[in-house]
Structure 1
Amino acid sequence: MSLMFEEIDSQSSPIGEISLRRRRIPVLGDRDIYEVKLGDEFLMSSAFYAAEEALATLGLAALQGDKLSVVVGGLGLGYTAVKALEDTRLDELLVVEALDTVITWHREERVPLGQVLNADPRNRYVLGSFFDLAVDPLSGFDPRQPGRQFDAILLDIDHSPTQFLNSANARFYSTDNLALMAQQLKPSGVFAMWSQNRPDAEFEALLATVFEQVESHLVSFFNPFQNNQATNSVYVCKGPAAV
């Protein structure tokens, strides 16, 4: 029987103390709940992850063809990456994560989905800042093949386009830097991004300066901690904007 609460690991990082915890919450049934915290702030919980999975589902649904190459920005507890790998058209997945601690949790299978990711030969972890790599298309996301392009880039790092995990991330959300990232997409490629908030009209307008097609999807799910329906958003963008 699992302990009611256990801190599995806690490590310092450039953006603060990051910790992995496991707990039992009787009202949620006979299962372990995994949580990631940055300082006192909750980043991720395995109690609900529908929107993280929807990021992969909605992003990849906008693509045609097979032998797809995909980048996931932000590893978290692995839900977006694992959902992407369920798409049989996927040929390669690069999961870009800035914190070595988070990659180690998955490689050492301290989190449940680590085993799934490690067992899939299509998956590869890339240690690095998504935001730094995104604005450097000459090097790009793949250290083995600088400058390559991808079919999709799926981003789940900041809480929203205006609420940042790290204040330095704010500069990414501009026409110039989004356009640099878009250079790493194939002509028919897709950029999709998760947000904890409802669709933001100003951000949609910003995305439209870079992409021809911008769609916002509202994802509803039950939040057991609040005992009600909650919503997140997924932005899906495709094609270069007309100049």
Structure 2
Amino acid sequence: MARLFAELDSQPTDIGEISLRRRMIPALGDDYIYEVKLGDEFLMSSLFVDAEVALADLGLAATAGEQLKVVVGGLGLGYTARAALKDPRIDELLVVEFLEPVINWHKNELVPVGETLNNDKRCRYVLGSFFELAQPNVGFDPDAPECLFDAILLDIDHSPSEFLNSSNAGFYTQANLSAMAQQLKPGGVFAMWSQNPPDPSFIELLESVFATVSSELVSFYNALAQVEASNSVYIARTQTD
């Protein structure tokens, strides 16, 4: 008989103990559900991935061109990266992750999409802080610090005002968003996930940096609570030549 619960890994990090857990809920079927916790805080579940997938789908739908070079900020359980790789235009995908244990879960295929990401030669893990690499004098690609990207897809903080780590707050300013935008090609796209409905003040901030800004509400069914839920995705584009 399958075990209903197992902790697959737990590691100390600079921002707290992070753990990967697997459970089965018979009422929801026979598939395992994978969960991530940081300390006592529940971060993510493979049961709810609609918005993570929508981040890639909406962000790349707004991105023009071929042979795309794309950054995903925040690996998580890998669903944004996997969705991005379904776009045949992707030439290279850099997945930036601050927590080494999370990268190792994928490399060791402890999570469902690890094998898919590992076997796709277009995908590369980058260990580091997205917010530090977002500065143009540093760069997201350690092999080519000055290269520009077609799209940057960000899913790290809970929202523009609720942070996974308090030190992330400084990113959500005109100066630092503008610095990140310097790593985008003309017409390049910045897309970001949030657990909350679109925030008018953050849209206004994005409009002070980018040429066009929109937001999408992503609805999904929460099978645990048996209610409809929603997250949002912001989509911003730099000025074209």
**Shorter chain as normaliser: what TM range?**
over 0.9
Q: Does 1:214 align with 2:213?
A: yes
Cα distance, 1:26 vs. partner? Answer: 1.1
Q: What's the secondary structure of 1:163's corresponding residue? A: coil
How big is each residue's C-alpha offset from its partner over 1:198-243, in whole Å with a ceiling of 9 and x where there is no partner? Answer: 00000000000100110010000001122110000000000249xx
Q: Does 1:25 align with 2:45?
A: no
Cα distance, 1:139 vs. partner? Answer: 2.2
1:154-193 aligned at under 5 Å gives the runs 154-193=153-192
1:1-243 aligned at under 5 Å gives the runs 1-134=1-134, 136-240=135-239
Cα distance, 1:28 vs. partner? Answer: 1.1
Q: What's the secondary structure of 2:9's corresponding residue? A: strand
Q: What's the secondary structure of 2:131's corresponding residue? A: helix
Cα distance, 1:159 vs. partner? Answer: 0.2
CA distance in 2: counterparts of 1:235 and 1:72, whole angstroms: 14
Equivalences, count: 240
Q: What's the secondary structure of 2:191's corresponding residue? A: strand
CA distance in 1: counterparts of 2:87 and 2:55, whole angstroms: 13
User: Does the 8 Å contact 1:210/1:240 carry over to 2?
Assistant: no
CA distance in 1: counterparts of 2:88 and 2:129, whole angstroms: 28
User: Aligned AA for 1:58?
Assistant: L
CA distance in 2: counterparts of 1:218 and 1:209, whole angstroms: 22
CA distance in 2: counterparts of 1:139 and 1:20, whole angstroms: 31
User: Does the 8 Å contact 1:216/1:236 carry over to 2?
Assistant: yes
How big is each residue's C-alpha offset from its partner over 1:62-119, in whole Å with a ceiling of 9 and x where there is no partner? Answer: 0121100000000000000000000000000000000000000000001010000000
CA distance in 2: counterparts of 1:28 and 1:154, whole angstroms: 30
Structure 2 residue runs without a partner (length 5+): none
Q: What's the secondary structure of 2:144's corresponding residue? A: coil
How big is each residue's C-alpha offset from its partner over 1:138-158, in whole Å with a ceiling of 9 and x where there is no partner? Answer: 220000001111000000000
Cα distance, 1:165 vs. partner? Answer: 0.1
CA distance in 1: counterparts of 2:123 and 2:178, whole angstroms: 26
User: Aligned AA for 1:224?
Assistant: A
User: Does the 8 Å contact 1:2/1:32 carry over to 2?
Assistant: no
How big is each residue's C-alpha offset from its partner over 1:150-208, in whole Å with a ceiling of 9 and x where there is no partner? Answer: 00000000000000000000000000000000000000100000000000000000000
How big is each residue's C-alpha offset from its partner over 1:13-67, in whole Å with a ceiling of 9 and x where there is no partner? Answer: 0100000000001111010000000011111100110000000000000012110
TM (norm. structure 1) is: 0.97
Structure 1 residue runs without a partner (length 5+): none
Q: What's the secondary structure of 1:211's corresponding residue? A: coil
Q: What's the secondary structure of 2:113's corresponding residue? A: helix
User: Does the 8 Å contact 1:71/1:95 carry over to 2?
Assistant: yes
Q: Identity of paired residues, percent?
A: 65
TM (norm. structure 2) is: 0.98
